[in-house]
A and B are shown apart, each in its own frame.
Chain A
C-alpha cells in the first residue's frame, strides 16, 4: 500500500519550510532553460584544430599527466595565508598515544571546573 500524500507534505522547520520536491522541480526547469540557451550557441566548433588547445598565456601546453593539480596544491592561497592556524593544528596531532590520554585528562579537568566550581561560584554571587 503506497500512500502518496504524506510524501508530498511540506517540511516545517519551526520558523520556515522546506520542500525538496519543489526544489527538484525548480532544478529541472533551470536545466531546461540551460539546454535552450545552449541551443543558441555557435556551431562552428572544429575538432583537432587550434581551437581545442588550452591557452596558457602563450606558454607551451604541458603533458596531460602534469596538468592535473595535486590535492595538496588545491586551496594553496587559503592554506598559505592561514599557515599559522594549520601549523599549530598539525602540531596538536602528534600521533602519540600519551598525548591523546593527556587531552582526556585535560578535558575532564575543564569539565570538572566548569560544572562544580562554576556552579559554586554562581551560588556565591
Chain B
C-alpha cells in the first residue's frame, strides 16, 4: 500500500476518526497520567494534533466541492437513512476547523496555566471529551446523534466550569450551566421526537426532504431555535454565559467559545437545511427573528459590558455582543434568500456572518487567554484593583492590543473585514440595522479601551512590583492566535474565497446536502 492509497483511506474514514481519536485519547489519559504528568500533557497535545491534521485533511477535500458521508457499522453502504451517519459539507468543515484549533491551543495554554492544580487527569479527560462532543455535533448528519453529542459537550463543559471546586462562584456557575443546558437539550429531544413521529426518520437529510411545515413542525422549529439559541447565549437567555465564562478557568473559557458556536451552528443547520424545504413558507419570518435576536443581543451585550468591573465577565458580555453579529449576518442572508434581486447581498451577508464566527472565536478567545495570563500573574480579576501591568508584561500587552483592535473591528484586523461585509449587506436590507451594528461596534471599542486603560496603563502599583511575564507555553498559545488574527486581517480575500464562501454556499444550496443522502430529492437549487 503506497502513501496515496493510505491518504485516500484516511480521508474516507476521517469523519469517524476525528471523533474517535479524542474519545479514545480521553479514556487513555487517566491511565497514562499514572506514569508521569509531562508524558500525559504531551500525549494530550499529540492526540489533538493528530485530530487537527485529520480535520485539515478532510476540510481541504470538502472545500474543493465534495460532500463526505460516513455510514457507521455497515459493510455495504445500502439504506443510509436508517443508520447513523456523519455528513460533512463545507459549513461543518468550517466549524470543525474552529473547534479543533481552539481545543489544541487551549491544551497548550493549560500546560503552564493549570500546573499548580490537582486532579489534572480528569481535567484533560474532560477537555478531550468536550472536544469530541463539539466535533461530533458539527459533523453528524443525524438529529438524535446531534442531541447525544450536545449532551456530551454540556456535561463535560459544565464539569470543567466547576473545576475550581474550592471557589463557591465557580461551582455555582457550573450548576447554572448544567441546568440551562439540560433544559435546552430536553426540549431539543422533544422536537426530535416530534420529527420522528411524523417522518419516521432521524436523519437530517431525510427529514429535510420530507418536511411539510405542518403545525407540529412549527412547534419543533420554535423549540429547536429557542433551545439552541439559549445554548448559544442569545439575549435574553444569555445570563448563564457571563457566569460560566467569567468563573471557569481561562483555558476552559477559550474552548467554551467553541462550544457555544457549535450550538449556533445547530441554529443555522436547523434553519437552512432541515427547514430548507419549507423555506418559501418560513424564511422571511425566521430570518427576521434571527435578525432581531441579533440586534438585541449585540446592543444589550455591549451595554452590560460597559458597566462591568470584572475582567473576564466583561469580556464575556463582549462575546455575547459578538454572537449578535453572526446572527445578524446569517439572518439577513435568510431574509433575502428567496429574493432573486438580492442574491449578491444575501451571499455577502452570509459570508460576513460565517467569517465572523471564526473571527469571534479567535478575537474573543485571545482576550480570554490574556485575562487568564493576568490572573496567573497577579491572582486578581477585578479591574478596579489592576493597573500598570504593561510595564511588567510586555508580550501580554501586545497580544491584548491585537485582540482589542480585532474584536472591536478596527482595520486592518480580521474583525473589520467580516464586520464590513455585515454592515454593507445589512444596509441594503435596512439601513437602521447597519446603524445599530456600527454603534455597538464603536461601543465595543470603548469597552475594551477602558479595560486596556485600567489594566495595562497607569502608574506602576507597588503590589504588582514582582509580577513577571507568564511562562512560555501560555505565550506560545497567545502568540499563535495573534499570528492567525494578523494573517486573516491582512489577507481576508484568501480566507473568504477559499473557506468562507464554500461554507456560505453550502448553507444556501441546502439541496446538495440532502441529495448526498437521498439522490431523488429535487429542489433547493
Q: Which residues of A contact B (CB under 8 A)?
A: 6-7, 9-16, 18, 20-21, 23-24, 27, 64-65, 67-72, 74-75, 78-79, 85-86, 89-90, 92-93, 95, 97, 99-101, 103-104, 106-108, 111-112, 114-116, 118-119
Contacts known (A70-B384, A100-B237, A108-B222); A10 close to B493, Cβ less than 8 A: yes
Q: Which 8 A-B pairs have the closest CB atoms?
A: A71-B454, A71-B383, A68-B458, A20-B412, A14-B348, A64-B459, A11-B493, A108-B226
* Residues of chain B contacted by A114 (CB below 8 angstroms): 285, 289
CB pair B309 A71 closer than 8 Å:
yes
Residue B270 at the chain A interface, CB threshold 8 Å: no
State the Cβ distance, B421 to closest chain A Cβ, in Å.
Answer: 5
- Rounded to whole angstroms, the CA-CA distance of A70 and B344 in the bound complex is 47
A interface, by DSSP: helix, strand, loop or mixed? Answer: helix
State the Cβ distance, A58 to closest chain B Cβ, in Å.
Answer: 21
- Rounded to whole angstroms, the CA-CA distance of A23 and B187 in the bound complex is 48
Residue B221 at the chain A interface, CB threshold 8 Å: yes
Q: Which residues of B contact A (CB under 8 A)?
A: 175-176, 179-180, 183-184, 187, 215, 218-219, 221-223, 225-227, 229-230, 236-237, 239-240, 242-243, 281-282, 285-286, 289, 300, 303-304, 306-307, 309, 344-345, 347-348, 383-384, 386-388, 411-412, 416-417, 420-421, 424-425, 428, 446, 450-451, 453-455, 458-462, 489-494, 496-497
CB pair A100 B240 closer than 8 Å:
yes
- Rounded to whole angstroms, the CA-CA distance of A16 and B455 in the bound complex is 38
- Rounded to whole angstroms, the CA-CA distance of A27 and B410 in the bound complex is 13
* Residues of chain A contacted by B218 (CB below 8 angstroms): 115-116
* Residues of chain B contacted by A100 (CB below 8 angstroms): 176, 179-180, 237, 239-240
CB pair A13 B424 closer than 8 Å:
yes
- Rounded to whole angstroms, the CA-CA distance of A67 and B454 in the bound complex is 11
* Residues of chain B contacted by A69 (CB below 8 angstroms): 453-454, 458
- Rounded to whole angstroms, the CA-CA distance of A78 and B442 in the bound complex is 14
Q: Looking at the complex, which one of B236, B345, B412, B450 makes contact with A103 (CB distance below 8 Å)?
A: B236
* Residues of chain A contacted by B243 (CB below 8 angstroms): 95
CB pair A86 B494 closer than 8 Å:
no
- Rounded to whole angstroms, the CA-CA distance of A108 and B286 in the bound complex is 13
* Residues of chain A contacted by B412 (CB below 8 angstroms): 20, 23-24, 27
CB pair A20 B306 closer than 8 Å:
no
Contacts known (A21-B490, A104-B226); A68 close to B307, Cβ less than 8 A: no
CB pair A111 B225 closer than 8 Å:
yes
A9, closest chain B residue (CB) = B493
CB pair B285 A119 closer than 8 Å:
yes
CB pair B459 A107 closer than 8 Å:
no
In addition to A75-B306, A118-B285, 13 A-B residue pairs with Cβ atoms within 8 Å of each other are: A6-B497, A21-B490, A24-B490, A27-B412, A65-B459, A65-B462, A71-B309, A71-B455, A72-B309, A74-B453, A85-B303, A86-B303, A104-B184
A94, closest chain B residue (CB) = B239
Q: Looking at the complex, which one of B226, B384, B421, B458 makes contact with A14 (CB distance below 8 Å)?
A: B421
- Rounded to whole angstroms, the CA-CA distance of A62 and B121 in the bound complex is 51
* Residues of chain B contacted by A74 (CB below 8 angstroms): 450, 453-454
* Residues of chain B contacted by A95 (CB below 8 angstroms): 239, 243
- Rounded to whole angstroms, the CA-CA distance of A77 and B378 in the bound complex is 30
Complex A-B: 23 CB contacts under 8 Å: A6-B494, A7-B490, A11-B492, A14-B424, A16-B424, A20-B411, A20-B492, A24-B490, A68-B459, A68-B461, A70-B383, A71-B454, A86-B307, A89-B300, A92-B236, A97-B180, A100-B180, A103-B236, A104-B184, A104-B226, A104-B237, A107-B229, A116-B222
